[in-house]
Every structure is written in structure tokens, then in C-alpha cells.
Amino acid sequence: MEFRKVRLLGGPNIWANYPVLEAWVDLGTLKDSPSDELPGFTDRLMAWLPSLIEHRCSVGKRGGFLERLRRGTWQAHILEHVALELQSLAGTPVGFGRTRETHEDGVYKVALEFECEELGRASLEVGRDLCLAAVHDRSFDVEGALAQLREVAQRHRPHPTETALRQAARQRHIPIARLDDSDRFVLGHGIRQRQVSLANLVPPVEGLLDRLFPAGQKGRIPIAAVTGVNGKTTTTRLIAHILACTQRCVGMTCTEGIYIDGQRVEAGDCSGPLSARVVLGDPRVEAAVLETARGGILRAGLGFDRCDVAVVTNIAEGDHLGIGDIETLEQLARVKRAIVDVVAPEGNAVLKADDPLVADMATYCPGSVVFFARDGHHPVVVEHRLRGGRAAFVRDRRIILAEGAQEIPLVSLENVPLTHGGLVGFQVENALAAAAAAWVLGVPCEVILTGLETFVADLDLAPARFNVLEFNDATVIMDYGHNTSSLASLIETFEALPHKFRSAVYSAAGDRRDIDLIRQGELLGDAFDRVILYEEENCIRGRAPGEINSLFRKGLTGRCRVKHIEEVDGAIQALEYALERARPGELLLIQVDLVDETMALMHRYLESGSSCRQIDFREALSLARPRRRHSSVAGRSAGEGGS
């Protein structure tokens, strides 16, 4: 029995709404040996730890664990109970634990509550040794092991003043965090935070908090968390933009970086818990909008204990399946649901009504729910409104905010640049989600209107999120989407365009499943005449060079439209290659991998005086039509590529 890894989930996570340790346990040769098939195992274990008799099993009955042992259970589940009991015997009583199988035979995930991380880790190690001794009928010095664990607990036991401070903060629901390894603590978030030093504290602590946070204040700022498969970054950026229209200093995290008051202070993928804590720890920030990605939730939990609004954009066909033991859409939805689980009782979850896995999250929300959908007649929306609930939807090409039977006609889609006049359906949904989030955060409707009308889907406000350009009389659309559902949405949107010849520059990360890469190749092959594949070194992720392109080619082969398949090494090189060969009247999709580098390149084109300018989708419609009707030369040129 070996530990593959033991990691700290330091915030709310898929197991619990508080920190846990997650151990990946490989049973090895014991994977086919339940407890009832190991002679004497249960008796030895109970003789060493008789207090285990009173443990509850998964059905919650006292003594159920002993019954489970005699019926037969696996060593990972036994380890869970043993490690919890060892922590309790060492002086820190804890009770929560869960054990789940992974997709790999004989490998389990064990989640444990803890008060002291060091003791929790040590209890896992001692618990494994004790279980193996019981399996193999070896002697085990229980008292010696417990003495060592008690020494660990004593060595890492916090100062009584710290314990009192943390307990007082928890009772008042005030966030608390230590500043690095110092004796200083931060209470609260953003502009409302206060710092205290243990050296200066004099009991009682229930009085200090009353002075720092009078009249029941909790030191919290508004937090909007955004997750989903597609649309996270755009929705995050739009919510932050609307909140900034209230003249507040907004902190934002997304896949392009950390932003404070509109200025990027850190570049890179910052959609995890560490980045969230940076924003919440900044004393300038008056409101926070936090993109919250799957990977960060699985690796370390959330970077906040609760949020005022949780937005889930969609699950659709999923993404990143097969990574981190998330194999199904249902499992992926459970990960994304983590932000819904921690909505404050007075807060709201903003959920996509026509995505069943998202809509089902409503039952887990401790607060209220707002459903959004393009179709206001969707049954989930209709039933929710009949119960007096809130919803956001489109009617007669207008965004409508509704509470029960009352409706607020907010804005025409013609005046929402992000949606390109309502022609880009997935951007309409992002606008609905953002408007609903701002609404329940208490932003006045006139300010929401201003935010929607001034957020332009250009290279600066929404980089690589359906940016539309004219380049040498070709229409270029740049988008970050890199999974089957986002590609399908793009292709659906392109159906309105009259361009005859269509090209795509495309890639995806190597940690996607083979079937996902092949399926994207199939979609590309049915929608484009020419496909330029590329691989970017930092996205190969364990694949052999050329393997990603090979899988795309497997999907492209034999599809109904594609005639030309090319390969170029590197994302920027592929982009430049495609732009150099762009034809008048061509539609060119650029799947953006390196966002900053790509945006910098396009800005150079825009500033160089060359035939490059930003347009919107409606202008792309009007630009292509005259060329098709009146320029037979251009028409023949465009058509030749598809023959």
C-alpha cells in the first residue's frame, strides 16, 4: 500500500466546505484482499485501536465500521478511519473522512479532515504502517506511535491567543489568514481588511473584533466567482467591467492574469486559488471577480470561503475529461459546483437554465438562484418565475431581467457590442450571466446598461474572445476556444456568414483525450476548406511531437468539406503563415493559444498602416456580400481553394 501523493486542499473543495488532506492510495497487492479475507486482521486492528468500534460507517450508524470490517471492506477505507482515530487520540478530534475509487484499479482517494496539517499527514503515514502490520500479522508499537503523534501535535499546536483569535473570527464569519510565517494575521478582505499581531494581543480576543469590525461587520467585500467549461473569462471580464462602472476598485483574476483597478499586475493563467487570495489580500480592492477553473479546485480547493455570487456558464460536452480522475460530465459538474456550495445564505447562484447539469446545481445552493437562458420560455425559467424566482433571458432581441411576474427590459442586443448585435449566441449567454450577476450584487440597472453598452469585444477588453478583424479583405476571427463544445458553437455562429472559402488555424492541448482531439478534427473537416494545424511546445503536455496533429488528421480524414490540410510548427508561426496567404473574401478562424503574443502581433499589424482593422460580426456580413455578388475574379479565387 503506497501513497501516490498527499495534497492539501486549503479551501472549500469537492469533498467539504473546509480544508482537507487528499491522499491517493495505491493498494498494490492488497487491491483484491478485502478485510474479511485477511485472517485475524479485524481482531488485531481492534485490539490495537479499540476506540474504532464506535466509529460510524458511511451510513452513519455507530459501530457500523466494525460491522463493515467483518463484512469486508478495502484497505483505503480502513486507512481513512484509522487516520481519523489517530488524530483524535493524539489530541485533535476530527470526524470527517471520505474514500472513493478512482478510474484506476486498486487506487483510491482518501479525504481527511484535520486541525493540524502536520498531524494529519503523520497520521496517514502511521495509519498505513499500522494497517499493514495488521494485514501481515506483525507486531506494532501502538503506544510508541501515539506518543510520536502527540509530540507532533504538541510541536505544531498554535499559541492559545491564535486559537482564540481564529475561533472568534469563525464565530463572526470573518475571514482570517496568517501573513506568511510571521505572527501577523489578516482579518477580512480587500479594503475592509484589518491586520493584527499576536504579540500585541491581550485576551479577551470576542472585544478586539468588536473594535475592528463594529456593528456586526464581517470585513468582507463582494465576491463574484465564475466557472464553467466555456465563457468563463469573458463573463468574468464583463462582470468586472460593470462593477468598475460603479467607481469601485475591482480586483479580477482570469486566465490572462491578475488585474487591480483595470491594470494587470501579474500575467499568466491566474484562475486558481493563489491568485484569488492575492486579490482578496490587496487593501485597495472593493469588489472581486474571480475566474475559478477546474484545475485549481482539484489541486488546492477554492481561494475563498464563501462568495456572494457564483456563476456557472455551462458544462456542455465538457473539457479536460480524463485528467485528475474526472472521467464523466457528472464528475466535472461536481467539481464546478464547488463555488455554488459556498454561496452565502444571502447570496445567489447564476445558473444556465438549459444545461441540465448546471441547472441541477440549484438544489445545492445555500442562497437564492437566478437562471439565465436565451429562451425565456424554457421550462426551468418558467417554473422558477412562477415560484417568484429571478431570471435573465432574451425576448424580442432585448435582455430582460425578471423577478416573478415583474420584468425589466434592460437593453437591446443591438446596443451590446459583445454580442455583435445578438448574432453571436454564446456571447449573448455570457452577457445574460454577467448582467444577472451584477443585478443580484445590487448594481443599479442604469449602471448595468452602461457596462453592457461599453464593453467591446476587441483585442484589449476581450482578447482572443471572438475578436473580428478585416485583414487584406479577408475576415479573421480570433478565439481561444479549444474544445468540442466551443468549436461547435463557433461553427454554428459562422453559418450566418456568406464567405465561400473558409480556413482554420487550430490546435489543442495534449492532455485532452484522444477522442476529443479526433472529434474536433471531424468538426473542422466538415466546416472548413483548409485546416492549418500547429503544435505549441508548452501545450504538448506529455505527447510525442506530432502526436496531436496526427489525432486531428485522423478526425479530418474523409470529412465532407476539407480539401487542404497543412502543418506549421508553433502558434505564432501558424498565424503569420495563414495571414500571409489569406484571400479576399476568405473567412479565417484563428484558434489562439498564446494570447499575449498573439494580441501583440495583431496590434503591430493594426498600427503598421497595413490593411488590418477591427470590425464586428455585422460588418463582416456586409463586407463579404458585395464581394460575392460583384467580383467574379475574387469569387473564382476563393472557390479554387475548395476544389
Q: What are the grid coordinates assigned to 231, written together?
A: 465563457
Biggest CA–CA distance in the chain, Å, is 92
The half-sphere exposure of 560 on its side-chain side, counting CA atoms within 13 A, is 3
- The DSSP call for residue 323 is B
Backbone torsions φ then ψ of 565, nearest 5 degrees: -125, 125
Would you say 515 and 507 are in contact if contact means Cβ atoms under 8 Å apart? no
Q: Where are the domains of the chain?
A: 2-156, 160-212, 223-454, 465-640
CA gap 314, 350 in Å, rounded: 11
Exposure class string for 260-284: b at 16+ Cβ within 10 A, else e: beeeeeeeebbbbbebbbbbbbbee
Q: What is the pLDDT of residues 100-143, one digit of tens each?
A: 999 999 999 999 999 999 999 999 999 999 999 999 999 999 99
Q: What are the grid coordinates assigned to 556, written together?
A: 479530418
Q: At what angle do helices 64-71 and 41-48 cross, to 10 degrees?
A: 150
Q: What are the grid coordinates assigned to 352, written together?
A: 444556465
The two beta strands, 587-591 and 502-506, are parallel
Q: Which CATH class is domain 465-640?
A: alpha beta
pTM, rounded to two decimals: 0.93
Task: Return the pLDDT at 130.
Answer: 98
Exposure class string for 73-112: b at 16+ Cβ within 10 A, else e: bbbbbbbbbbbbbbbebbebebeebbbeebeeebbbbbbb
Task: Return the pLDDT at 627.
Answer: 45
Backbone torsions φ then ψ of 113, nearest 5 degrees: -70, 155
Task: Return the pLDDT at 638.
Answer: 34
Q: What share of the chain is helix, strand, coil (3-state, %, to 5)?
A: 40, 25, 35
Task: Return the pLDDT at 625.
Answer: 56
Backbone torsions φ then ψ of 603, nearest 5 degrees: -65, -35
Task: Return the pLDDT at 610.
Answer: 75
Preceding amide of 204 cis, omega within 30: yes
pLDDT averages per 10-residue partition of the chain, 643 residues: 96 96 97 95 94 67 78 95 96 94 96 97 98 96 97 93 91 91 91 90 78 91 97 97 97 97 96 97 98 96 97 94 93 97 98 98 98 98 98 97 97 97 96 98 98 95 94 95 93 94 95 94 98 92 93 96 96 96 95 95 90 92 56 35 33
CA gap 313, 474 in Å, rounded: 32
Q: Name the helix (H) or strand (E) containing 466.
A: strand 465-471
> To which residue does cell 476571427 refer?
477
Residue type, 18: Y
Would you say 219 and 185 are in contact if contact means Cβ atoms under 8 Å apart? no
Domain spanning 223-454: which superfamily? Mur-like, catalytic domain (3.40.1190.10)
Task: Return the pLDDT at 183.
Answer: 87
Q: Which residues contact 79 (CB under 8 A, 6 or more apart)?
A: 1, 23, 25, 99, 110, 124, 127, 128, 131
- The whole-chain average pLDDT of the chain stands at 93
Q: How many other CB atoms sit within 10 Å of the CB of residue 136?
A: 10
Estimate to the nearest angstrom the gap between the alpha carbon of 100 and the chain centroid: 22
Task: Return the pLDDT at 22.
Answer: 98
Reference 279, options 226, 223, 235, 218; nearest CA is 223
